[in-house]
Structure 1
Amino acid sequence: MLIIQRCKFVSILIILLILVSCASGPVLPEIPDVREINLQELQRLMDSREPLRALETVDILHKRGLIGRDEHSTYRKEIDQMISEEFHKAVEASDFNAALRLSRAAELLELSLEEGPDRKELYLDMLHGLVEKEMLIPAFAQAAEALSSGLVRYDDLGFLAEAARNSGYREWSEYLEAEPDDPEEKITGDLPGIIDSTVTIWVNRGIRIEGGMGYPDRVIGSGFFVDKNGYLITNYHVIASEVDPEYEGYSRLFIRRGDSRSPRIPARVVGWDPILDLALLKAEITPGYIFSPGKRTPRLGETIYAIGSPGGLEKTITSGIVSATERRLLQLGEAMQIDVPINQGNSGGPLMNEQGRLVGIVFAGIEFFEGINFAVPVYWLQAILSEMYAGGEVRHSWIGSALHEGADGLINLYTVPGSPADNARIKEGYRLVSVNGQAVSSLREVNAILVRERPGNLLKTLWEQQGGTRETVYMVLAERPHSPVLEAHRMGAEKELVLPLFGMKIQETGAALWEKSYVVEKVYPGTIADETGLSPNDPFYWRGLKIDPENKLALLRMVIKKRKAGFLESSIQLASYIDVDYFI
C-alpha cells in the first residue's frame, strides 16, 4: 500500500513538473499570413526602386484577392510615379538600356513620362553614343533592328551612314540608305576578297582516349569577319568547349586564314548564344572585307552561296537555292532550309545572296539526306549582335508557358512552376491573343517579339479564358533557361510534361502494386500523340518518361490499348526532341 501511494505521489509530481515546464517554456511566434508575407515583398520592391517588378506583384496580389481594388489603385499610382522618376534618372545618367526599358513599359501602360524624350529620341541618342565610342558594328546592327521595327526611318540615320562611309564600311553605308539592294549586282568581281575574309575555326581539345588508343580531339568549323577590328562570327557549338562551364577538358581556340601551311592565329570568345547557336570571336587581324546583311529576306528558289571549310578544305564555295523558310528547328525563331552542299566543317560559315549580302549562318545538315541543310537567318544575328559585343552569354527572356499552335490559335498547355506565367495564374486552355498590343496566332510571331526582349522587360499580354473572358496580364520577363524541358524536369515535372511534349492530356485511373493506369483525355491535332494514332479514352499503363540530355530526347514508354486498333494491347515508345520552340 505504501509503495502504491509513493508511486501516486511520484506520478503527480512528474505531471506538475511537466505542466510547469510547459507554462514557462518559450512562446512560439505567430506565423504571418500569406497577405502579410506578400505585402512585405511588395514593400521591399518599392524600397529598392524596382517599379516593374512591383507592378507585376501588385497585379498578382489583386488577382488573388489579397488586396482590394482601392489598395491596388493606390499602389499603382505610386508605381506609376516611380516609373517616371526612375526613367528621368536613367536619362540623366545616359543609361539608355534602362531608359528604353522604362519608356517602353510606360507606352504599354499608357503612362505619360512628363516631358521626357520618346523612345525614338532615346534610340538615336544611344546610336550617337555608340558612334562616339567607335562601336560602329553594334550601332549598325541596332539601327537595322530599329529600321525593321519601324521605330526609326532612313532619314533619321544620315549621321550613321556618314560614319560608315568615313570608316570604310561601304556595304553598311549602302544598307543605311533608303535605296534597296540592286538585284542586278553580282559578286563575281569581289569574290576573291569575300572568300579571303572567311576563316577556318580550329578548337584543339587535346587527346581523346577510345579503346585504349589516343586520338587527336579537334573541332573544325568556319567563320567570317563582321568588323575591321577582327571580330568574326561562327556557331556556338563549334566553340562550346571554350565557354561551357560543364566542360572540364583541355580547349584552345585558333583560326586559320589560308590552307594547312598558314599559321594558326589565337582567338578568344567574346559573346555567345547557345539558343540561337551563334558566337562572336576576336582575333588580332585586320580583314580586307566585312560581311554585311541584305535588306530583304531571300525568296524561295533564290540562288545562294556558302563559303566554309568542309572536311577542313579551306575556302570552299558552293551554291544552291533556298528550299524552305520558317523551319521550326530553333528554340527561338525559325531556320532557313537550303540545298547548298554542306558538310562537317561548314558550320559557322556565311550564306550569301547573289549580291554578296549576308543572309544566314550555316549551322546544320541531316546526315544521309543529301541537300537538306539549314542556316540561321541573318536577322536573328542582328537581334543579338550588340549584346554579344557587350561580352558573355546572351540572356534570352521567357514567361514559362508551353503553347500549342492550332486552328484555334495559341493555346496554353502547361506553365512551368515559379515562372511569370505561373505567378500570373495562366491556366491550361487559355488562348494567347496578343503580345505588346500585337495580335498573334503563331509561335513564329511570338518568338519574333521575345527574341528582341530581355529579362526584366515588361510584357503586356492578352489572354482569353475558356469561357470567353479576356484578361490583360502584365509580366516581367524572366531569364530563359538553356532547355525549358530540362528545367521543368529538374523541378520535378514528369507526367505534367506529357501534354506539352507529346500533345496529349492524361488522367490517372488507378494504381496496382508496381504500376499506375491512365487514360488519354484529349489529343491535340498535329502532335506526336495524334500522329501515333492515339485518341481520347485510350487506356494505358505508365512505363516511365526518360529524359536524355546528351541526345536531347524525351522518351515516353507505355503499354496501351488503342481504340483505333480494337483495344489490342501493345507496348510503344514515343520520342520528342526537348529543344522545342513552343516554350515561350
Structure 2
Amino acid sequence: MNIFTNGRLLFALVLVCYSTFSWADLVTTIAKIKPSIVAVGSYHPTGSPRSVFSGTGFVVGDGSLVVTNYHVVPSDLNPAKREQLVIFVGRGSKPKVYDATVIASDRIHDLAVLKIKGVKLTPLRLGNDNAVQEGQSVAFTGYPIGAVLGLYAATHTGIISAITPIATPQISSTQLTPQMLKQLRKPYQVFQLDATAYPGNSGSPVYDTETGHVIGVINKVFIQGSREAAISNPSGISYAIPIRYAKALLQ
C-alpha cells in the first residue's frame, strides 16, 4: 500500500469519525433544543395583522420563564386597544399564543425575562460561560426572518471566533455614538461568532453542540450598533451576550 493509498484511507477514517460523532451529536441536541424555542411578539385583537413578531426567546427555570433580548420586547403596546405581550409556541402558520409579562429586565446587557401565563414548557439548561474558549463549536436556534414563512425554527452552527469587548475606542471622536460612549463607561466582554445571525434571531440561545447547555444569547442589533457604528457597510459578524448576565437576572 503506497503513501497515497494510506493518505486516502486516513482521510476516509477521519471523515467517517467526524460524520458519525459530531453531526450525530448535533442532530440529537437540536431535537432537544427546539421544544424550548419560542417567538416573542404582540397580539392585537382588532389589529391587522393581529400578531406581530419581534424576536426569539427560550424557556428556562421551571418552564414558565423566557429569556430574550430587552430590545425584542414591544415597548409601544396600548392597553386601551388590548394590545398584549405574548409568546408564540408551536410550528407553522398557526402557533399557540400565550400572554406574557416582563418580570425582570437589564438594559445594560439588553436582556429581559418574561413570565408565561397558562402553560409550562421544556426549559433549557444554562451552562458556564467562564469555560468558553475561542474555537469552540456552538450552535444557535431561532427565527432568522421572523414569521414571514411561518414559525419554523432554524439552526446555525459555527465557532466562538473571538471573546471581545462590547465596544472599542474609535480613531476619531466623531465616530463615537452615544450608545458606544455608554458602553465604554461600563465595558464587558461578548462572544463574536462566525455564524450568520439575522434580526429575527435576537434572543436565540447559543449552546454547546454536544451538551445543549446555553452559554450565550444572540444579539444582532444592540451589540452590532456598539461595535460597528463607524463602519459604512456593516459586516455580517454576529454577537452573543454571555449567559452569566441572564443568570444574574433570573436570580
Give TM class, smaller chain: 0.5 to 0.7
Shift of 1:317: 0.7
Bigger Rg over Cα? 1
Pairing 1:336–2:198 present: no
Pairing 1:377–2:242 present: yes
Pairing 1:195–2:34 present: yes
Query: Structure 2 vs 1, CA of residues 326 and 295 (structure 1 numbering), >3 Å: closer, same or farther?
Result: closer
Query: Structure 2 vs 1, CA of residues 351 and 270 (structure 1 numbering), >3 Å: closer, same or farther?
Result: same
Residue 41 of structure 2 aligns to which amino acid in structure 1? Answer: W
Write the distance in 2 (CA, Å) between the matches of 1:197 and 1:345. Answer: 16
Residue 252 of structure 1 aligns to which amino acid in structure 2? Answer: Q
Q: Is the CA contact 2:87–2:98 (under 8 Å) kept in the aligned structure 1?
A: yes
Pairing 1:309–2:164 present: no
Query: Structure 2 vs 1, CA of residues 207 and 345 (structure 1 numbering), >3 Å: closer, same or farther?
Result: farther
Q: Is the CA contact 2:59–2:122 (under 8 Å) kept in the aligned structure 1?
A: no
Secondary structure at the aligned position of 1:364 is classed as coil
Shift of 1:381: 1.8
Per-residue deviation, residues 482-514 of structure 1 (Å, max 9, x unmatched): xxxxxxxxxxxxxxxxxxxxxxxxxxxxxxxxx
Query: Structure 2 vs 1, CA of residues 249 and 278 (structure 1 numbering), >3 Å: closer, same or farther?
Result: farther
Q: Is the CA contact 1:219–1:238 (under 8 Å) kept in the aligned structure 2?
A: no
Shift of 1:240: 4.7
Residue 274 (structure 1) aligns with: 107
Residue 178 (structure 2) aligns with: none
Q: Is the CA contact 1:207–1:217 (under 8 Å) kept in the aligned structure 2?
A: no
Write the distance in 2 (CA, Å) between the matches of 1:217 and 1:332. Answer: 36
Write the distance in 2 (CA, Å) between the matches of 1:248 and 1:336. Answer: 41
Query: Structure 2 vs 1, CA of residues 189 and 196 (structure 1 numbering), >3 Å: closer, same or farther?
Result: same
Residue 264 (structure 1) aligns with: 97
Name the structure with the higher helix share. 1
Match of 2:70 among 229, 232, 236: 236
Shift of 1:328: 2.4
Query: Structure 2 vs 1, CA of residues 249 and 346 (structure 1 numbering), >3 Å: closer, same or farther?
Result: farther
Write the distance in 1 (CA, Å) between the matches of 2:249 and 2:192. Answer: 21
Query: Structure 2 vs 1, CA of residues 277 and 205 (structure 1 numbering), >3 Å: closer, same or farther?
Result: farther
Match of 1:347 among 202, 208, 213: 202
Q: Is the CA contact 2:129–2:243 (under 8 Å) kept in the aligned structure 1?
A: no
Per-residue deviation, residues 279-305 of structure 1 (Å, max 9, x unmatched): 111113222342321364321122111
Query: Structure 2 vs 1, CA of residues 216 and 255 (structure 1 numbering), >3 Å: closer, same or farther?
Result: closer
Q: Is the CA contact 2:39–2:53 (under 8 Å) kept in the aligned structure 1?
A: no
Per-residue deviation, residues 404-463 of structure 1 (Å, max 9, x unmatched): xxxxxxxxxxxxxxxxxxxxxxxxxxxxxxxxxxxxxxxxxxxxxxxxxxxxxxxxxxxx
Q: Is the CA contact 1:242–1:252 (under 8 Å) kept in the aligned structure 2?
A: no
Instruction: Show structure 1 runs of 5+ residues with no match.
Output: 1-182, 209-213, 387-584
Pairing 1:226–2:60 present: yes
Residue 33 of structure 2 aligns to which amino acid in structure 1? Answer: I
Residue 243 of structure 2 aligns to which amino acid in structure 1? Answer: V
Match runs of 1:97-116 below 5 Å = none
Residue 356 of structure 1 aligns to which amino acid in structure 2? Answer: G
Shift of 1:334: 2.2
Shift of 1:228: 2.4
Write the distance in 2 (CA, Å) between the matches of 1:257 and 1:307. Answer: 14
TM-score, normalised by the number of residues in structure 1: 0.30
Shift of 1:249: 8.9
Write the distance in 2 (CA, Å) between the matches of 1:230 and 1:346. Answer: 21
Per-residue deviation, residues 41-100 of structure 1 (Å, max 9, x unmatched): xxxxxxxxxxxxxxxxxxxxxxxxxxxxxxxxxxxxxxxxxxxxxxxxxxxxxxxxxxxx
| Identity, % of aligned positions | 26
Shift of 1:226: 0.9
Write the distance in 1 (CA, Å) between the matches of 2:65 and 2:201. Answer: 19
Secondary structure at the aligned position of 1:189 is classed as helix
Write the distance in 2 (CA, Å) between the matches of 1:296 and 1:333. Answer: 13
Query: Structure 2 vs 1, CA of residues 207 and 372 (structure 1 numbering), >3 Å: closer, same or farther?
Result: farther
Residue 299 (structure 1) aligns with: 133
Write the distance in 1 (CA, Å) between the matches of 2:107 and 2:82. Answer: 20
Shift of 1:347: 0.8
Q: Is the CA contact 1:222–1:349 (under 8 Å) kept in the aligned structure 2?
A: yes
Residue 360 (structure 1) aligns with: 216
Write the distance in 2 (CA, Å) between the matches of 1:194 and 1:234. Answer: 15
Match runs of 1:521-540 below 5 Å = none
Q: Is the CA contact 2:142–2:200 (under 8 Å) kept in the aligned structure 1?
A: yes
Q: Is the CA contact 1:200–1:309 (under 8 Å) kept in the aligned structure 2?
A: yes
Write the distance in 1 (CA, Å) between the matches of 2:45 and 2:75. Answer: 12
Shift of 1:359: 0.9
Q: Is the CA contact 1:193–1:288 (under 8 Å) kept in the aligned structure 2?
A: no
